[in-house]
Amino acid sequence: MPVNRPVSDHFDGQHFFNPGAAQARGLGAVLRWQLSRQKARWPARIPNPPFPPWSDTVAPGHVSLTFIGHSTFLIRLPGPHGVTSILTDPIFSERCFPVQWMGPRRVRAPGVALQTLPKINAVLLSHNHYDHMDLLSLQALHRRFRPLLLTTLGNARPLHDAGVPGAIELDWWEAASAGPVQVTATPARHFSARGLGDRNQTLWAGFMLEAAGGRMLFAGDSGAGPHWTAIRNRLGPPSVALLPIGAYLPRSVMQAVHMDPAEAVQARAELGARRAVGMHFGTFQLTDEAVDAPLQALQRARAETGISVQDFDVLGFGETRVLPL
């Protein structure tokens, strides 16, 4: 069912769209790609090395980031009454598909098991694709923690019907509070669908978090575009930006909706982010590039632009780093 919202620069009354930008390729183009694709071979399983556990406390003016896998991070921010713990696009399931007996299967286990998570105060849900809106994970988190769930327009009803009630929907530039953390939905260049008949009937977004005297951006899924500069101009440059770097080949199909690593490096510059951390790679084989291609391409893009590993890095699956805000 279409969202009951006024027409805007990204909603025509029936469907959401990317303003002033290319839209996602249609079903015909996707089917032609699927029938002729030449995808790299991924290993069946890649073990995660062990990492030290996170500290129970987070120093003022800092953020603790733990990479769980794909676009799932545990973000821990200090506040006047203790640490606020936030999960992004949580997926702990073995597959990102409507059923768990087929579809893309993870090659790396979650870096942190759901059962070992700390108390989760809030969940950020950027859009409704199966590798981001995983109902099994959201149901388990709701049963265990009853976290505040912040998402985009159109997602609250299907979440409620799936046993995850109470989601707060945000349009681009709308904000809500998760305890001491101010969360603002930010523009992205993407699309939405969970079936053949609901394409672009729900919105996609990133989220800017403001807390501990600083800002950080969780970008969700996005292609390149002028929205990065718009985010910086409207909300200010983030100290840390979590940016997608994977699922980008073939470019003829993916360029409108997924950045490649070179575009992610450019996005960091346009955002004015002090640091960027890569995500959306090395977990599920969704597109044609090799499992290690995003990391190799990121290394080349850093060399070509003269930025350091500290400027744009990735975390190991299960690794925690504490960064200044």
For the record, the structure tokens of 169 come out as 């929907």
Distance of CA 249 to the CA centre of its chain: 18
3-class secondary-structure state, position 268:
helix
Helical (H) or strand (E) element with 305: helix 293-305
240 near 217, Cβ under 8 Å?
Answer: yes
3-class secondary-structure state, position 219:
coil
Q: Are strands 72-79 and 62-69 parallel, antiparallel or unpaired?
A: antiparallel
Q: What pLDDT sits at residue 32?
A: 83
Residue ranges in the chain whose pLDDT is less than 70: 1-2
List pLDDT tens digits, range 280-323: 999 999 999 999 999 999 999 999 999 999 999 999 999 999 99
List pLDDT tens digits, range 223-269: 999 999 999 999 999 999 999 999 999 999 999 999 999 999 999 99
Distance (Å, whole) CA 43 – CA 26: 30
Domain ranges (residues) in the chain: 49-319
Distance (Å, whole) CA 122 – CA 83: 12
Q: CATH for 49-319?
A: 3.60.15.10
Q: Model pTM?
A: 0.96
**Edge-to-edge strand list for the sheet holding 72-79:** 168-170, 148-152, 122-124, 82-88, 72-79, 62-69, 320-324
Local structure of residue 196 (DSSP, 8 states): S
Is the bond preceding residue 250 a cis peptide, omega within 30 degrees? yes
